Amino acid sequence: MRALGIVLAGGNNNKMRELSHKRAIAAMPIAGSYRSIDFVLSNMSNSHVQKVAVFTQYNAKSLNEHLNSSKWWDFGRKQGGLFVFTPTITVDNSFWYRGTADTMYQNINYLKSSHEPYVIIASGDGVYKMDYNKVLEYHIDKKADITVVCKELDEEDDTSRFGVIKTDADNRITDFEEKPLKSADKKVSIGVYVIRRRLLIELLERSAEEDRYDFVKDIVIRYKNVKKIYTYPIETYWSNIASVEAYYKTNMDFLDKGVRDYFFKQYPDVYSKIDDLPPAKYNQGSLVRNSIISSGCIVNGRIENSVIFKKVYIGNNCTVKNSIILNDVHIGDNTYIENCIVESRDTIRSNSTYVGDTDNVKIVIERNERYLM
């Protein structure tokens, strides 16, 4: 094995609003039957990265339960495996993770006890496919110290949530601005990095001595003129779900047959934990158009341009349009829902109406919601 993997899945931000109040962003449901972290773990597995650590922190209960067996992503091996690290109080440390660099530093023994020469670091909130071996080969050919995977966004896309990168003709980074309010440049980091393991240990220890805790600001940006830091482009589909608008758009993207086929019918596959549920049931009077209906659902009403997650009940004479209904929701009769995200384990009373708009998706959380996952 030439590389080990690190998945950073402990973060949280206010851009997810109520959706992240009770779950980690990396645990957010995607495309009916998946969670965000499934995509990066599948990439690791398909790239034959056999030893992967997932660092969790914020609202990690459902994420940890999702990761309770490594077999779903084929990490259940005698060599390697899937390791989940949460913040731990020790004699030497009494802090939660204070940043991405501090997260890795607090678990530096994982790096020191490993033998792989390289480390692939990836965020848990990206939806994409990638062969990390190609990035690794590029990193070796360039004799780079750090390689940052980047994406060229469209002109109308907002770059304020990302690190914006400038490069020279050789793809070496000349400038890296983290989350600028406004930028004319559209090349952004997708949160995937390749670095030599020994160099990472050295930089983490130096940052810790200087009370610096963020991998991007205190290592990548700080050393951009000292170390050889290159970019590697991803030209296929990629989305970061860490805002309500981006999360909604990403799920709506899966209503496009081309996107669905790319992720679920083209090699390599995307893996997830499997629930033993019956297929969806469509009762007399139901009508479904351009929607994803997951297993365990019972549909009595009308659904258009929507993503319906597992174990959802949709009552008689209901209409669901342009919406996302998360797991285990009961929607009472004669209900109208449009441009909304309905939270998990919720019960929507009969004769209710919830309407958002395309610029401001409404998040529906009823007071009689059940426990959330």
Give a three-class secondary structure readout of 86-146: CCCCCCCCCCCCCCHHHHHHHCHHHHHCCCCCEEEEEECCEEECCCHHHHHHHHHHCCCCE
- How many percent of the chain have pLDDT more than 70? 97
pTM score, two decimals?
Answer: 0.93
| Structure confidence at residue 13 as a pLDDT band (50, 70, 90) | confident
Helix (H) or strand (E) holding 228: none
User: Contact, 202 vs 94, CB < 8 A?
Assistant: no
Q: How many CA atoms lie within 13 A of 327 on its CB side?
A: 19
Cα–Cα dist 100/329, whole Å: 35
Q: How distant, in Å, are the alpha carbons of 8, 73, 347 from that of 332?
A: 39, 37, 8
Find all residues with CB under 8 Å of 205, minimum gap 6, and list them.
105, 108
What is the pLDDT at residue 367?
A: 58
Cα–Cα dist 50/71, whole Å: 12
Side chain identity, residue 80: G
Find all residues with CB under 8 Å of 39, minimum gap 6, and list them.
30, 126, 127, 128, 129, 270
What is the pLDDT at residue 23?
A: 87
Q: Helices marked H in the chain — which ranges?
A: 36-46, 61-66, 100-106, 108-112, 132-141, 197-209, 215, 244-253, 257-264
* pLDDT tens digit sequence for 100-146: 999 999 999 999 999 999 999 999 999 999 999 999 999 999 999 99
Burial class (CB in 10 A: 0-12, 13-18, 19+), 289: exposed
Query: C-alpha angle with apex 85: 83 to 91, nearest 5 degrees?
Result: 130
The alpha carbons of the chain give a radius of gyration, in whole angstroms, of 21
Largest CA distance in the chain: 67
What is the pLDDT at residue 354?
A: 96
User: Contact, 135 vs 150, CB < 8 A?
Assistant: no
Residue 280 in 3-state DSSP? coil
Strand 173-178 and strand 163-167: pairing?
antiparallel
Q: How distant, in Å, are the alpha carbons of 92, 267, 352 from that of 258?
A: 51, 14, 34
Q: What phi and psi, each to the nearest 5 degrees, are found at residue 192?
A: -120, 130
* pLDDT tens digit sequence for 196-233: 999 999 999 999 999 999 999 999 999 999 999 999 99
pLDDT of 285 > 70? The answer is yes
User: Contact, 311 vs 296, CB < 8 A?
Assistant: yes
Cα–Cα dist 59/11, whole Å: 9
Own/partner long-range contacts of 284-288 (Cβ < 8 Å, ≥24 apart): 285/316, 285/317, 286/314
User: Contact, 318 vs 299, CB < 8 A?
Assistant: no
Cα–Cα dist 206/105, whole Å: 10
pLDDT of 372 > 80? The answer is no
Cα–Cα dist 314/310, whole Å: 12
Cα–Cα dist 250/244, whole Å: 10
Residue 71 in 3-state DSSP? helix
* pLDDT tens digit sequence for 305-363: 999 999 999 999 999 999 999 999 999 999 999 999 999 999 999 999 999 987 889 99
pLDDT of 370 > 60? The answer is no
What is the pLDDT at residue 68?
A: 84
